[in-house]
Amino acid sequence: MKDLVYISTISADLKKSDILSILKGAREFNAENNITGCLVVCKNQFIQLLEGSETDLDVVFKRIESDPRHSNIHIITKNSITARNFPEWAMIYHNFDDLKMINSELDEYIETLQLLSNTGVSSTGSLSVFWESVKNRMTVEC
Ligand SMILES: Cc1cc2nc3c(=O)[nH]c(=O)nc-3n(C[C@H](O)[C@H](O)[C@H](O)COP(=O)(O)O)c2cc1C
């Protein structure tokens, strides 16, 4: 099993209703294809974690890559995993912008993620810290 994390820029004209529609489609497809994960919205960026078999991830990522609702898509990591981070979730959603108090922490994460995607260096350490902290803040389900 693998996980894949990418970061992308949200299209400027994207509305909340568009995100709900992305989630609806994603959850249907993912549930049928044994894919789990988490979609984070933060400022003007999506950060998405996808978990599943390599073949399934390739298929879903091709769909995601060609979606005009975001651009500037950079894979940060693709790793082998033994257990899923979000086994219960076809695609859980979290909007970090709702949590104003963690903005500075967030800036740090985003900077690290961007750095990782620019250099192509995969650091599972900082990424697991990131997803752990996402999990700990999962209070709102959308
Ligand atoms: C940020 C983002 C995340 C997405 N995540 C998923 C996903 O996890 N699973 C999925 O099937 N589609 C996901 N999509 C939607 C696909 O890109 C695509 O719109 C959907 O699969 C429908 O494709 P179709 O119109 O070619 O049938 C995502 C789209 C965006 C913009």
Q: Is the CB of 135 under 6 A from ligand 1?
A: no
Q: What is the CATH number of the domain that holds 50?
A: 3.30.70.100
**C-alpha 7 to ligand 1 mean position (Å):** 14
**Which residues have a Cβ under 8 Å from the Cβ of 52 and sit 6 or more positions away?**
1, 2, 30, 33, 34, 35, 36, 60
CA-based nearest residue to 35, from 94, 86, 73: 86
What spacing in Å lies between the alpha carbon of 88 and ligand 1's midpoint? 19
* Domain assignment present for 142: no
Q: How far is Cα 18 from Cα 24, in angstroms, rounded to an integer? A: 10
Nearest partner of 3 among 98, 59, 85, judged by Cα: 85
What pLDDT is recorded for position 22? 97
**Ligand 1: centre distance to CA 101 (Å):** 30
Domain annotation covers residue 130: yes
Give domain status of residue 56, yes or no.
Answer: yes
Instruction: Report if residue 64 sits inside a domain.
Output: yes
Please report the beta strands in the chain, taking only residues with DSSP state E, as ranges in sequence order.
2-10, 36-42, 45-52, 70-80, 92-95
Query: How many structural domains comprise the chain?
Result: 1
Give CA torsion, residues 46, 50, 54, 59, to 10 deg: -60
What atom of ligand 1 comes closest to residue 64's alpha carbon?
17
Computed on alpha carbons and rounded to an integer, the radius of gyration of the chain in Å comes to 14
Please report whether residue 61 resides in a domain: yes
Strand ranges (E), 89-132: 92-95
Domain that holds residue 55: 2-136
Q: What is the pLDDT of residue 118?
A: 64
Written as tens digits, the pLDDT of the chain (142 aa) is 999 999 999 999 999 899 999 999 999 999 999 999 999 888 889 999 999 999 999 999 999 999 999 999 999 888 898 999 889 889 988 887 765 545 566 667 667 666 666 665 555 565 677 777 777 766 545 4
pLDDT of residue 101: 46
Which pLDDT does position 133 carry in this prediction? 72
Q: Is residue 141 part of a domain?
A: no
Mutate to test the pocket of ligand 1, among 3, 13, 22 (most ligand atoms within 8 A of CB): 22
- Please indicate whether residue 106, judged by its CB atom, sits closer than 6 Å to ligand 1: no
